[in-house]
């Protein structure tokens, strides 16, 4: 499991914009892309180690994987 590394607020905005644009390019409406981008940011603070890696969720004793913090069988299939 990777340890979190912080990124600047400017870097975070760039990642948020890239996520939003990618979601739009993959067919989500503007509203859907905004909601998903916000949820991805909420889940992992737009931290690259979390976006493209994994991190512990101490509240439930699980490991979260990827952009949307998948767990269990979804995490295993993603990996």
- Domain extents for the chain? 9-78
**What topology is assigned to 9-78 in CATH?**
Lysozyme (1.10.530)
**16: which strand partners?**
none
56/8 Cα distance (integer angstroms):
22
Give mean pLDDT, residues 37-66: 90
Give mean pLDDT, residues 58-79: 91
**Residues 6+ away with beta carbon under 8 Å from 73:** none
Confidence of residue 71 (pLDDT cuts 50, 70, 90): very high
Q: Is the pTM of this model over 0.75?
A: no
């Amino acid at each position: 499991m990777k340890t979190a590394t912080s990124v600047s607020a400017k870097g975070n905005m760039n990642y948020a914009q890239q996520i939003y644009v990618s979601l739009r390019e993959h067919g989500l409406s503007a509203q859907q892309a905004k909601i998903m981008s916000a949820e991805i940011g909420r889940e992992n603070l737009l931290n690259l180690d979390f976006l493209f890696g994994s991190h512990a969720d101490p509240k439930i004793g699980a490991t979260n994987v990827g952009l949307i913090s998948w767990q269990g069988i979804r995490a295993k299939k993603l990996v």
